[in-house]
Structure 1
Amino acid sequence: MSGAPNDREAPPHREPAVPALRRLADPIPRSGVDASARLGLRQFLADGDRDLTGAFGDGVAATRLVAARAAMVDRVALHVWRAWLGDREGMALLAVGGYGRRELFPHSDVDLLVLTAGPIAEARQQRALEMFLSTLWDIGLKPGHAVRDADGCRRLAGQDETVYSALLDARPLAGDDALGTALTASLPDQRLWTPLAFLEAKQADRVARRRRFGDTAYNLEPNLKEGPGGLRDLHLIAWLDRIAAATLLDEDERQAVATARERLFRVRYALHLEAGRPEERLLFDHQRSLAQRFGYRDESRRNLGVEQFMQRYFRATSRIAAACDDAIDRALERLEPAPPTAVPIGDGLVRIGDRIALDEAVSLEREPGRLVTLFASLDRLPGVTGLRASTTRRVRRLLRDPAFDPDRADVLAAVREVLEGDTVQAVATVSTMAHYGLLARLVPGFARVSGRMQYDLFHVYTVDEHTLRVLGFMARFAAPDPSGEFALARSIFPRLPQPSLLLLAGLFHDIAKGRGGDHSVLGVEDAQQFCAKLGLPRADIELVAWLVRWHLLMSTTAQRQDITDPEVVHRFASEVADWERLDYLYLLTVADICGTSPKLWNSWKDRLLSDLYGATRFALRERRELPPLAAERADACRDRARRLLDGRGIDAAAITRIWSVFPESSFLRYSPDQIAWQTAAIAQADTLPLVKVRPEGLRGTSEIFIHAADREGLFAAVTAVLDRRQLDIVEARVVTSRTGQVLDTFLILDAHGHTLSAEACGQIERQLLDMLERQAFDVVPAVRTLPRTLKHFQVEPRVVFRADPVRRRTRLALICTDRPGLLAAVAQALRDRKVRVHDARIVTFGERVEDFFEITDDAGAPLDAAAQESLRAVLMDRLLPAAAPASASA
């Protein structure tokens, strides 16, 4: 990670000099706060905030700055209170919540409690209180306030744990000191909340927060306050210390949390300054500018400054979340009425209730291999929910110890035994090893990618989180599931001779992310070294290394190339070489896609990969030097299509007549099912144009078939219609009959990656027919607002042409930033340059679009150099006006 001069942990520093604070030491008249005084107070706050901002830029610890700002607001609140209300008895002013904890960030709420001895009956007193609050608003503090008597406070606190916890942080500011102190000194109070009931309520709230914020500390737009490892977890640790009347974390743990707390505070402080408001989400809008503020710089396109910045943030929140977990466990055990009976379960382990513990006589330092056994037992025993707190502490201390040697023979032997055991249990144990930090000690590369994000919209998890999710999908392939999901993967998995090798490939496939080079190449060495340490045979090591090196091959081949082309399949099969590698690679590819984002896997990708898998198995079985001849493939397609048409009431003569105008390319580029569907539609049609849409088409998509007179701009017009319905075109095939009519297909999904309903298909048929029957096409794309997230991710646009002498066409690759209506706009540009589209494959990776077209000029000839440059200029100037710097490329 590159250095960040303004982002290091702050050194010991004197209290920041805030000259404005000294002004309030002078006596303040109690006659009220007139307009001039309010202006002075507003200026005082502005001067103080400016001084604090300067101190923050100088590297003063954020934990000290928030306390200084709270002290500054204390002075102002006390000043205004005394000016309007004096020190009368029966009324006190208290700071609560974050203000009560002396944690005021630049735009934090100033939460106040006005505590009264009883109802405020005197009108003058009520008016004075109103003026106190309005003055605070006038000078810019925007206080949140409540006015209650002590009984009302206690009643509400007993009903709502959030009110109770806010009062735990309360501190008196002004007014009747005895009244305020009486309330704060009475808390915590078991008559309102028993410690165990409070802890259970906070646990339920924490679970609900995790569910709302993605159940992971690695949400790529994290909430600093409510998200896992955020401020709420820090507060909970402090509250648990109070209700348990104990220090729940040891000195090393407290120091680690303090370091992480300072990191979180600095980020939140800077975020408030950057946003100019009390923003709590670390949105993409702010991440890059915050990274620059803290001094991070792009090292390469694969190691951006913003990624380095976010990695440090994620590591801090992960540390806080783990400490909060430990504090909860220790508090629960401390507060439980009576510990359950300890039941020995072998291997030096005992079961206590729903948790397991390591016998005190067992020394992890002398027998570190027992650590792996402990984690394996944790995931193997039914009903066990975790480790006892004492055992967790022993584990944490061992893994923090620099003397711990993860390469000891007993440790590695235990790891290998886990990996070669039941796959589902192996994945669970590896995840537990990652949670407690053992995996990071075993595999240094995993430690380096811990918290490592990729600044794009394609990878929605950090690298370590993604890796564990990939392994999780592999475990799903190994487990029975009556739903039928991942049917092909589940049928392949039992054939694997060594599932452990698949797990190792999954563990190492992204291990080299962020190192500045091709991670597929760089990760090979890490995988080889670890497999050698495990003592695997050379052939197994080579297979794992091959899978790491080529883990993207199947995905890129399926999505970026035409897998109905035998040459494409032949090249892929030649690289894969045998069925065993193909099985491993297919499973790794599916798990990798599913573990990248919940939105990526759909029926289209499922069928696309399964089709490539099937075609490759056939090619490997045939073992032909060259792909099948085109004539053989076309004849095979015709034979299969005729069999599919049997029983549909179409005589052989009609089929022959229809096929007589089909170009030979139809039988090479369309499947037999598509040919049969198209043929039946034409046979049953009375007139042209003909449009048919079926909900379940090729490869898990909905499919459109258009048979109409060939007209200029037809492709652009169709894409414009589909774009207005916000449908995704994943593939388009443009075929012209021998009589000059189009036989086009479009494979589509809705905006959520699903096929269409029968009703939606009928609506699309009518819309397309209406468009085709017009004299002039409407090809203007719909204008839609660019989503917020896309504004912050700009891919450097590229337009690449390549000749295809066999088909006498030009291949166009368009790589750019996604945006609403992009394909329709591209189609319009092609139409304007009189370019004909014969094939289109549409691939989107988050914000990155990679579209591939086979094109010719209007006469059906490949584009010459001049035409290519003209088209390139149109695409770059009209469609991609905002070219981003290379460092911002995904």
Structure 2
Amino acid sequence: MTAEQRAVRTERADEACRAAYGRIPGPETGVALVAVGGYGRGELAPYSDLDVVLVHDDGVDISAWAGELWYPLWDAGFKVDHAVRTFSEMIAAAEDDARVALGLLDLRHLAGDPHVTLRLRTTMLAGWRRAARQRLGDVHALVNRRHELVGELAHVAVPDLKEAAGGLRDAGVLRALVATWLVDVPHVDLERRRLALLDVRDELHQITGRACDRIAPESWTPLAQALGMPDAEAVQRHVRGNGRRLAHLSRLTWRRVDAVLATQARRGGRRPQLVPLVPGLAISSGEVVLDGKVAPAEDSLLLLRAAAEAAERDLVLSPVSAARMVAECPPLPEIWPGEARELLVRLLASGHGLLGVWETLEETRAMDSLLPEWELIRLLPHASAIHRFTVDRHVVETCLEASRLIRKVARPDLLMVAALLHDIGKGEVGDHSIAGERLSWAVSRRLGFNEHDQAVIARLIRWHLLLAETATTRDPDDPVTLEDVASKVGSSLVLSLLVSLTEADALAASPKAWSAWRSQLVVGLAARVDAVLATGPEEPEETWAEEPDPAVSDDLAAGRAQVQFEVAAHGTGATVTVMAADRVGLLADVSAVLALQKARVRGARAWSRGAWGVSVWETGSESLDPGLLRTRFDLVASGQADLGRLRGGSDALDPTVQVRPEASRRATVLEVRAGDRPGLLHTVLSAVAELDMTVRSAHVDTLGPQAVDVFYLCEVGAGALSDERAAEAAHVVRGALAGPPR
């Protein structure tokens, strides 16, 4: 079916309406028959209703003959959805109901007085534009409710061409948004996608013999034949691809509407404001954009950085800026640097903001270079009925679910990458777990993981179904079962990651796939397997026993300086080595200095060397000046620096603070996991210092968006804390992290 055939059907219906109107004894002025909705747009599908309204001026009485209008149409075999309204009733209905207003934006004259139609159309359009700022909130709420109820055309198992997100209803709403003059959309792209879906709907009507918008599984093959496509998979990709693009345009346009309305509410104008974000990037009207100060050709990580920043802030990644970065940023090296890997993990663990940003990356073809293997599962339907999404969307949903679980695992970076890759093998023939394991080795190596981490990721993907299948089909108390699972997972680290991956995978498939009962079975099985593995923890401080200590400067040794800073810049930041007289609160002061300099700490180690406290900090800042750091330190140590803004802070997930009594005999080990943010270390270390506790050694790591920090605490001049003091330390640190920003 084509647009020409829709035009023929529409003209046939128009002729019937004109003929029916010509038979009634109506007046020549003050009355008009108009088409609305899809018929108003001239897009009748084979089994569509005729949506028509007989409109008359308030002073015109048509009661004697109005009912006679519809009989000729019914006799001709048309299904007619009709109404009779006065001009003022039409205006009032549109003002009261946003759905009516949307439908009337497409009204078209059929018969009667054309001046009535022209006045009505002009009044409706002017009213829509005039009241847009007040009404668009209601329209957006209607759209969101529909999306929640029906799902996405691109990803649900049984898509609805009209009502689903990315369907024909959304295309109509986009046209209505453009009519407000507040925003614009790519008209050519929108119209091409809309017409493609109309062609599919026409063929679906012919196949089913009725007005139908939902594509049942059995309809894909005849649709492929009718549309001249190779097979059911090809037509699915065609339909879902157009739906994905329309859904992306819809979400992007609504975000822009929200930004325009918010901007006007704040400043009463429409001039965009650039808010600096990080070098090369800024925020404009709710979108992360290029700031024009750093050329994309100068930074191979700019696209990943923009994506991570946008997702973490739940902002739009500007498609225009993203497309430019895709085209101009230098390719990443064959083996990614650590910062690139960290940015990817931050993106994957960003939570709700990931979805829109990932769509932009897909629409701009960024995935072709970032993760070429993604093409294997792009818009790939699931064979299992339990899945509510296509494979690619299921993977993104798994990342969303896994991002809520990163506090439970020691290696959130490995969890997030495994979530991304766990179903990548479904694009190949055979067992997808085996195929995915093979693919994961190449991907994780490219991402820059070491061999140990590559092996963990591969094992997670190979056995990502193991716990769920075993817990529901095998006896969890049978030693053979436990030994079999233990031999496959290999370590407590893999087991703990596998528990979280299992939960995320199930929740992404369907909320019903992860019940309290299934959770209890999986967690119980994992506890039994962990007992079989029974590996004891190693003290992380021992890994630093052979690290060389820096030489004490003459100024520091002679007391002419409080501290010495050594800065060694490298390709992705700088290593800062600090030495000062050891005391309670030393690390808190150093962390404050770095936070005030906006130096993002990726990792740190600290230890005592006699009377000196030594710490080494890996930062993401290349331009740190040792002299300025010393000046800042003097201000902090003397209490002259304003540190209030470094304390507290918001976190999407609750921080976890745990005492690990089994981890050391010489100190009390406090483990902190929280969202990485400026001032986090200072918040923890100052809380410990206020309790008059010393930090014998510290082990700080940033794994994607999560800081995993381990502190070995002692009493001043003594050893490990008592149980009461350890509990006090955990309580105080937990309270400091959970406190509101100051």
TM-score where L is the length of structure 1? 0.54
- CA deviations on 1:767-789 (whole Å, 9 max, x unpaired) are xxxxxxxxxxxxxxxxxxxxxxx
Question: Does residue 260 in structure 1 map to residue 193 in structure 2?
Answer: yes
Query: Match of 1:395, as an amino acid?
Result: A
Distance 1:423 1:267, change over 3 A: closer
Q: What corresponds to 1:359 in structure 2?
A: 291
Q: What corresponds to 2:173 in structure 1?
A: 236
Given that 1:195 and 1:244 are in contact with CA atoms closer than 8 Å, whether structure 2 keeps it comes out as no
Given that 1:87 and 1:174 are in contact with CA atoms closer than 8 Å, whether structure 2 keeps it comes out as no
Distance 1:591 1:410, change over 3 A: same
Distance 1:346 1:551, change over 3 A: closer
Task: Name the CA distance, whole Å, in 1 between partners of 2:376 and 2:529.
Answer: 36
Q: What corresponds to 2:213 in structure 1?
A: 280
**Over alpha carbons, which structure has the higher Rg?**
1
Task: Name the CA distance, whole Å, in 2 between partners of 1:406 and 1:427.
Answer: 28
- Identity across matched positions, percent: 27
Question: Does residue 615 in structure 1 map to residue 528 in structure 2?
Answer: yes
Task: Name the CA distance, whole Å, in 1 between partners of 2:456 and 2:197.
Answer: 42
> Matched residue of 2:201: which SS?
helix
How far apart are residue 99 of structure 1 and its match? 0.7
Query: Match of 1:387, as an amino acid?
Result: V
Distance 1:405 1:527, change over 3 A: farther
How far apart are residue 504 of structure 1 and its match? 1.5
Distance 1:409 1:564, change over 3 A: closer
Given that 2:423 and 2:432 are in contact with CA atoms closer than 8 Å, whether structure 1 keeps it comes out as yes
How far apart are residue 365 of structure 1 and its match? 4.8
Task: Name the CA distance, whole Å, in 2 between partners of 1:439 and 1:255.
Answer: 24
Distance 1:394 1:599, change over 3 A: same
How far apart are residue 147 of structure 1 and its match? 1.8
- CA deviations on 1:117-144 (whole Å, 9 max, x unpaired) are 3355366xx33x3222111112121211
Distance 1:195 1:307, change over 3 A: same
Worse-superposed segment, 90-99 or 369-378: 369-378
Q: What corresponds to 1:114 in structure 2?
A: 54
Equivalent residue for 2:82, pick from 145, 149, 152: 145
Q: What corresponds to 1:377 in structure 2?
A: 309
Question: Does residue 101 in structure 1 map to residue 41 in structure 2?
Answer: yes
Q: How does 1:800-839 map to 2 (within 5 A)?
A: none
Q: How does 1:569-588 map to 2 (within 5 A)?
A: 569-588=482-501
Question: Does residue 209 in structure 1 map to residue 146 in structure 2?
Answer: yes
How far apart are residue 244 of structure 1 and its match? 0.6
Distance 1:286 1:243, change over 3 A: same
> Matched residue of 2:85: which SS?
strand
> Matched residue of 1:512: which SS?
helix
Worse-superposed segment, 276-285 or 417-426: 417-426
How far apart are residue 320 of structure 1 and its match? 0.3
> Matched residue of 2:534: which SS?
helix
Q: What corresponds to 1:327 in structure 2?
A: 253
Q: What corresponds to 1:446 in structure 2?
A: 374
Q: How does 1:735-884 map to 2 (within 5 A)?
A: none
Q: How does 1:83-102 map to 2 (within 5 A)?
A: 83-85=23-25, 88-102=28-42
Distance 1:608 1:161, change over 3 A: closer
- CA deviations on 1:593-646 (whole Å, 9 max, x unpaired) are 2222111112332232223222322333399xxxxxxxxxxxxxxxxxxxxxxx
Distance 1:205 1:441, change over 3 A: farther
- CA deviations on 1:261-305 (whole Å, 9 max, x unpaired) are 2331122112222332222222346445545655667xxxxxxx5
Task: Name the CA distance, whole Å, in 2 between partners of 1:101 and 1:372.
Answer: 42
How far apart are residue 379 of structure 1 and its match? 3.8
Q: What corresponds to 1:69 in structure 2?
A: 9
Q: What corresponds to 2:316 in structure 1?
A: 387
Task: Name the CA distance, whole Å, in 1 between partners of 2:348 and 2:379.
Answer: 26
How far apart are residue 87 of structure 1 and its match? 7.5
How far apart are residue 191 of structure 1 and its match? 7.7
Query: Match of 2:517, as an amino acid?
Result: W
Distance 1:362 1:333, change over 3 A: farther
- CA deviations on 1:740-759 (whole Å, 9 max, x unpaired) are xxxxxxxxxxxxxxxxxxxx
> Matched residue of 1:278: which SS?
coil
Task: Name the CA distance, whole Å, in 1 between partners of 2:60 and 2:384.
Answer: 57
Q: What corresponds to 2:276 in structure 1?
A: 344
Question: Does residue 457 in structure 1 map to residue 382 in structure 2?
Answer: no
Q: How does 1:262-661 map to 2 (within 5 A)?
A: 262-284=195-217, 286-287=219-220, 289-291=222-224, 293-294=226-227, 306-331=232-257, 336=264, 337-339=268-270, 341-352=273-284, 356-381=288-313, 385-387=314-316, 391-396=318-323, 398-399=325-326, 401=327, 407-408=332-333, 414-419=339-344, 424-425=349-350, 432-437=357-362, 438-439=366-367, 441-479=369-407, 490=408, 493=409, 496=410, 498-621=411-534
Task: Name the CA distance, whole Å, in 2 between partners of 1:426 and 1:236.
Answer: 27
How far apart are residue 464 of structure 1 and its match? 1.5
> Matched residue of 1:121: which SS?
coil
- CA deviations on 1:666-706 (whole Å, 9 max, x unpaired) are xxxxxxxxxxxxxxxxxxxxxxxxxxxxxxxxxxxxxxxxx
Distance 1:558 1:237, change over 3 A: same
Task: Name the CA distance, whole Å, in 1 between partners of 2:345 and 2:31.
Answer: 70
Task: Name the CA distance, whole Å, in 1 between partners of 2:8 and 2:336.
Answer: 50
Given that 2:160 and 2:214 are in contact with CA atoms closer than 8 Å, whether structure 1 keeps it comes out as yes
> Matched residue of 1:244: which SS?
coil
Distance 1:427 1:578, change over 3 A: farther
Task: Name the CA distance, whole Å, in 1 between partners of 2:116 and 2:516.
Answer: 66
Query: Match of 1:436, as an amino acid?
Result: L
Given that 1:524 and 1:548 are in contact with CA atoms closer than 8 Å, whether structure 2 keeps it comes out as yes
Query: Match of 1:111, as an amino acid?
Result: D
Task: Name the CA distance, whole Å, in 1 between partners of 2:83 and 2:335.
Answer: 61
Task: Name the CA distance, whole Å, in 1 between partners of 2:290 and 2:137.
Answer: 26
> Matched residue of 1:599: which SS?
helix
Task: Name the CA distance, whole Å, in 2 between partners of 1:423 and 1:165.
Answer: 37
> Matched residue of 1:188: which SS?
helix
Q: List gaps (5 residues or longer) in structure 2.
A: 537-742
Q: What corresponds to 1:131 in structure 2?
A: 68
Query: Match of 1:538, as an amino acid?
Result: E
How far apart are residue 102 of structure 1 and its match? 0.7
Query: Match of 1:227, as an amino acid?
Result: A
Question: Does residue 227 in structure 1 map to residue 164 in structure 2?
Answer: yes
CA-based RMSD: 3.2
How far apart are residue 474 of structure 1 and its match? 2.0
Distance 1:104 1:422, change over 3 A: closer
How far apart are residue 520 of structure 1 and its match? 1.7
Task: Name the CA distance, whole Å, in 2 between partners of 1:189 and 1:159.
Answer: 16
How far apart are residue 322 of structure 1 and its match? 0.9
Given that 2:50 and 2:79 are in contact with CA atoms closer than 8 Å, whether structure 1 keeps it comes out as yes
> Matched residue of 2:282: which SS?
strand
Question: Does residue 199 in structure 1 map to residue 132 in structure 2?
Answer: no
Q: List gaps (5 residues or longer) in structure 1.
A: 1-55, 298-304, 480-489, 624-890
Query: Match of 1:453, as an amino acid?
Result: P
Query: Match of 1:269, as an amino acid?
Result: D
Task: Name the CA distance, whole Å, in 2 between partners of 1:347 and 1:267.
Answer: 46
Given that 1:368 and 1:410 are in contact with CA atoms closer than 8 Å, whether structure 2 keeps it comes out as no
How far apart are residue 192 of structure 1 and its match? 7.5
Given that 1:154 and 1:192 are in contact with CA atoms closer than 8 Å, whether structure 2 keeps it comes out as no
How far apart are residue 110 of structure 1 and its match? 0.8
> Matched residue of 1:218: which SS?
coil
Task: Name the CA distance, whole Å, in 2 between partners of 1:430 and 1:167.
Answer: 33
How far apart are residue 448 of structure 1 and its match? 3.3
TM-score where L is the length of structure 2? 0.65
How far apart are residue 169 of structure 1 and its match? 0.8
Distance 1:434 1:117, change over 3 A: closer
How far apart are residue 112 of structure 1 and its match? 0.9
Given that 1:423 and 1:475 are in contact with CA atoms closer than 8 Å, whether structure 2 keeps it comes out as yes
Task: Name the CA distance, whole Å, in 2 between partners of 1:534 and 1:122.
Answer: 74
